[in-house]
Amino acid sequence: MNEINLINRIKTVLNSDYIGDDCAYLKDLGIVITQDSLVQGVHFDKRIMTPYQNGYKAVMSNLSDIAASGAEPYYMTVSLSLPNYTVEEDVEDFYEGCKFALKDTKVQIVGGDVTGADNLYISICVIGKTENRRISSRSNAKIGHKIITSGVHGSSAAGLKILMENLEPDKDLIKAHLMPVAQLDFSKQIAEQIEEDYAMMDTSDGLIDALYKIGTASNCTMSVDFERILYDPNLEKYFDNYKDLIFYGGEDYQIIATVPVDLLPKLKDYTIIGEVIPKEDSVVKINYDNDVENINSIDKCFNHFGL
Question: Does residue 179 fall inside a structural domain?
Answer: yes
Q: Note whether 186 and 281 are same-domain residues.
A: yes
Last residue of a domain, one of 129, 157, 174: 129
Q: Note whether 162 and 270 are same-domain residues.
A: yes
Q: Note whether 164 and 233 are same-domain residues.
A: yes
**CATH number of the domain to which 50 belongs:** 3.30.1330.10
Last residue of a domain, one of 77, 99, 129: 129
pLDDT at residue 86 in the model: 94
Question: Does residue 138 fall inside a structural domain?
Answer: no
Q: How many domains does the chain have?
A: 2
Question: Does residue 66 fall inside a structural domain?
Answer: yes
Residue 129 in contact with residue 30, Cβ under 8 Å? yes
Question: Does residue 62 fall inside a structural domain?
Answer: yes
Last residue of a domain, one of 100, 129, 158: 129
Tell me whether residue 17 is exposed, middle or buried, using C-beta atoms within 10 angstroms of its C-beta: 0 to 12, 13 to 18, 19 or more.
exposed
Question: Does residue 259 fall inside a structural domain?
Answer: yes
The 3-state DSSP class for residue 206 equals coil
d(CA 218, CA 198): 10
Q: Note whether 156 and 104 are same-domain residues.
A: no
Q: Note whether 105 and 153 are same-domain residues.
A: no
Strand partners, 116: 82
d(CA 23, CA 177): 23
Q: Note whether 150 and 291 are same-domain residues.
A: yes
Q: Note whether 123 and 162 are same-domain residues.
A: no
pLDDT at residue 220 in the model: 98
pLDDT at residue 10 in the model: 79
pLDDT at residue 8 in the model: 74
Question: Does residue 139 fall inside a structural domain?
Answer: no
Q: List strand residue ranges (DSSP E) for 21-150, in order.
A: 24-26, 31-39, 72-82, 108-116, 121-129, 146-149
pLDDT at residue 70 in the model: 98
- Residue 76: CB partners within 8 Å, gap ≥ 6? 59, 62, 102, 107, 108, 109, 110, 124, 125, 126, 127
Strand partners, 224: 274, 286
Question: Does residue 212 fall inside a structural domain?
Answer: yes
pLDDT at residue 241 in the model: 92
Q: Note whether 161 and 255 are same-domain residues.
A: yes
Question: Does residue 73 fall inside a structural domain?
Answer: yes
**CATH number of the domain to which 199 belongs:** 3.90.650.10
Q: Note whether 152 and 272 are same-domain residues.
A: yes
Whole domain around residue 285: which residue ranges?
Answer: 146-295
Q: Note whether 159 and 290 are same-domain residues.
A: yes
Q: Note whether 43 and 95 are same-domain residues.
A: yes
pLDDT at residue 1 in the model: 60
The tens-digit pLDDT sequence of the chain (307 residues) is 666 677 778 777 877 777 778 899 999 999 999 999 999 887 888 889 999 999 999 999 999 999 999 999 999 999 999 999 999 999 999 999 999 999 999 999 999 999 999 999 999 999 999 999 999 999 999 999 999 999 999 999 999 999 999 999 999 999 999 999 999 999 999 999 999 999 999 999 999 999 999 999 999 999 999 999 999 999 998 899 999 999 999 999 999 999 999 999 999 999 999 999 999 999 999 999 999 999 998 776 555 444 3
Residue 217 in contact with residue 154, Cβ under 8 Å? no
Q: Note whether 153 and 274 are same-domain residues.
A: yes
